[in-house]
């Protein structure tokens, strides 16, 4: 194919980020817009003049029946991802799914198996897999530069409680979970992806802060091999966004500080910031997905299996918090 034709399912705020990404990819074309909100469709066509004549639909099934497409990007409430993903795959479309993939690890396994059966690409839009600092961090770990990883601390703070109040993200039936399942899934994913470690034991404490979904989570994980990790996901913070990741090995440490990466190599070495010139070139999941479909890369930046692993760990964290006990993974 000369261009990958995309059907965009869900074009709210995050959906329009994907739209903008794809409009900047020469080998991509948007051939259909789907959203149950007329306002979202109107806002998208107003923002992107080149999409003024692109067909729009309130029903994704109608769009699948009427639009010839090669791939779909799904950016809808989390509870809808599985059904929409299965429908797109059944029509022969490749699927890029917004995080946190689908509701539950069992649905994740089913969707992955069906994509394999249909011989279609299925990926998750975990942007950190395409960001220079995190790609560099993963290389440090995977190459053995930091040695055996002994301890990890991952921290994320966001004004999520107030910022998402009254939206579908705090409606459990639509979101299937709270902050740990939403922005927090990025934090779980980046540790699982960058280290490749397998959880062994999980202990979690969660506070819903008066809502029906998790808001603040303190999660401790012991991985196979002995590495200890703490995840701190603060949805009730008063700040817009902050993310830190610290990785300590027996040969060095790496400290990600909200967009900057510092590395200490060897004994008693002070952490030094990694200059932008040494970082891999950043991209985005949409561009990567186009390259995947066109055969330019062999694997998605964030394969669907990453979504499964995050779903499984999230489920166990919820089980631990509910029971008040440590859970063997």
Which regions of the chain carry the CATH code 3.30.360.10?
A: 131-277+300-328
* pLDDT under 70: residue ranges of the chain: 1
What residues have CB less than 8 Å from 9, skipping those under 6 apart? 34, 35, 60, 63, 72, 73, 74, 75, 76, 84, 88
**If 0-12 CB within 10 Å is exposed, 13-18 middle and 19+ buried, where does residue 328 land?**
exposed
How high is the pLDDT of residue 158? 97
Q: What's domain 4-127's architecture?
A: 3-Layer(aba) Sandwich (3.40)
How high is the pLDDT of residue 329? 87
What residues have CB less than 8 Å from 265, skipping those under 6 apart? 145, 251, 252
How high is the pLDDT of residue 60? 97
Written as one string, the DSSP assignment of 93-134 is -EEEE-TT-SSSHHHHHHHHHHHHHHT--EEE--GGGGSHHH
What is the topology classification, in CATH, of domain 131-277+300-328? Dihydrodipicolinate Reductase; domain 2 (3.30.360)
Backbone angles phi, psi at 88, to 5 degrees: -65, -45
Which regions of the chain carry the CATH code 3.40.50.720?
A: 4-127
**270-289 pLDDT tens trace:** 999 999 999 999 999 999 99
How high is the pLDDT of residue 87? 98
């Amino acid at each position: 194919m000369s261009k990958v034709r995309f059907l965009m399912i869900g074009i709210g705020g995050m959906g329009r980020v994907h739209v903008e990404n794809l409009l900047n990819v020469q080998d991509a074309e948007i051939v259909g817009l789907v959203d149950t909100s007329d306002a979202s469709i109107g806002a998208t066509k107003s923002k992107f003049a080149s999409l003024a004549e692109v067909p729009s639909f309130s029903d994704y099934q109608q769009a699948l029946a009427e639009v010839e497409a090669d791939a779909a990007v799904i950016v809808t409430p989390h509870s809808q991802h599985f059904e929409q993903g299965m429908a797109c795959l059944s029509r022969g479309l490749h699927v890029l799914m917004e995080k946190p993939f689908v509701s539950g690890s069992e649905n994740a396994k089913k969707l992955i198996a069906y994509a394999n059966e249909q011989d279609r690409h299925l990926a998750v839009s975990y942007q950190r897999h395409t960001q220079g600092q995190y790609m560099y961090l993963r290389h440090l770990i995977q190459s053995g530069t930091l040695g055996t990883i002994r301890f990890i601390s991952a921290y994320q703070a966001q004004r999520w409680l107030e910022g998402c109040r009254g939206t579908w993200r705090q409606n459990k039936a639509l979101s299937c979970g709270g902050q740990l399942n939403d922005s927090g899934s990025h934090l779980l994913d980046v540790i699982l992806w960058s280290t490749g470690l397998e959880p062994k034991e999980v202990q979690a404490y969660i506070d819903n802060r008066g809502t029906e979904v998790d808001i603040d989570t303190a999660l401790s994980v012991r991985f196979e091999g002995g590495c200890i990790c703490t995840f701190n996901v603060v949805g009730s913070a008063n700040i817009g966004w902050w993310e830190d990741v610290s990785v300590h090995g027996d040969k060095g440490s790496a400290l990600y500080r909200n967009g900057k990466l510092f590395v200490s190599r060897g004994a008693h070495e002070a952490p030094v910031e990694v200059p932008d010139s040494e970082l891999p070139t950043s991209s985005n999941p949409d561009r990567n997905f186009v390259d995947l479909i066109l055969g330019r890369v062999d694997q998605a930046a964030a394969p669907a299996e990453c979504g499964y692993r995050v779903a499984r760990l999230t489920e166990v964290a919820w089980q631990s918090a509910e029971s008040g006990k440590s859970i063997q993974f």
